[in-house]
Amino acid sequence: MMAHLRRVTLHDVAQDAGVSASTVSRALNGDRRIPENTRARVEYVATRLGYVPNQAARSLVLRATHTLGLLVPGITDPMHGQVVAGFENEASVHGFSVIMASSYDNPQRESRGLQLFARHQAEGVAVLGGILEQRQVLAAVHPSRVVFLDGENPALAGDTSDLPFGCIRVEDAAGGQALVEHLLQVGCRSFAYVEGPAVASTIARKQGIARALRAAGLDDTLKTYAGASLDPVSTATLVSHVLRDRPDALLCYDDRLALIVMDALRAHGLRVPADIAITGFDDIPFAALSNPRLTTVAQPAGDMGKLAVRMLLSAIQDDVMPPSVRLPVRLIVRESSRRVQAA
Partner DNA sequence: CTGAAAGCGCTAACAG
Partner DNA sequence: CTGTTAGCGCTTTCAG
Contact code string over 213-242 relative to a copy of itself, x by CB under 8 A: -----------------x------------
Contact 183, 216 (CB under 8 A): no
Helix (H/G/I), strand (E/B), else coil: 229 = coil
Task: By CB under 8 A, name the one of 286, 303, 325, 331 that touches a copy of itself.
Answer: 286
Phi-psi region of 79 (alpha: psi -120 to 50; beta: other; left: phi over 0): alpha
Contact 306, 70 (CB under 8 A): no
Report which of 340, 334, 329, 225 is spatially closest to residue 282, judged by C-alpha positions.
329
By a kind-dependent CB cut-off of 5 to 8 A, residue 314 interacts, out of a copy of itself, DNA, none, with none
Contact 130, 106 (CB under 8 A): no
The percent of the chain in helix, strand and coil, each rounded to the nearest 5, is 50, 15, 35
Task: By CB under 8 A, name the one of 32, 33, 119, 244 that touches a copy of itself.
Answer: 119
Task: By CB under 8 A, name the one of 290, 295, 299, 337 that touches a copy of itself.
Answer: 290
Query: CB neighbours (10 Å) of residue 298?
Result: 18
Q: What Å distances lie between residue 146 and 3, 165, 209, 266, 305, CA to CA?
A: 37, 5, 31, 44, 13
Report which of 164, 173, 124, 169 is spatially closest to residue 148, judged by C-alpha positions.
169
Task: By CB under 7 A, name the one of 44, 47, 57, 237 that touches DNA.
Answer: 57
Residue 41 lies near DNA (rule: CB under 7 A) = no
Residue 256 lies near DNA (rule: CB under 7 A) = no
Candidate segments 19-27, 100-108, 152-160, 210-218, binder of DNA by CB under 7 A: 19-27
Q: How far apart are CA 126 and CA 114, in angstroms?
A: 10
Contact code string over 239-268 relative to a copy of itself, x by CB under 8 A: --------------------xx-xx--x--
Q: How far apart are CA 227 and CA 221, in angstroms?
A: 19
Task: By CB under 8 A, name the one of 18, 20, 22, 60 that touches a copy of itself.
Answer: 60
Q: Which residues bind a copy of itself (CB under 8 A)?
A: 1-7, 50, 52-57, 59-60, 63-65, 74-78, 81-82, 84-85, 88-89, 92, 97-102, 112, 115-116, 118-121, 123, 139, 142-144, 230, 259-260, 262-263, 266, 285-286, 288-293, 316-317, 319
Binding site for DNA (CB under 7 A): 6-7, 9-11, 18-23, 25-26, 28-29, 33-35, 38, 51, 53-54, 57-58, 60-63
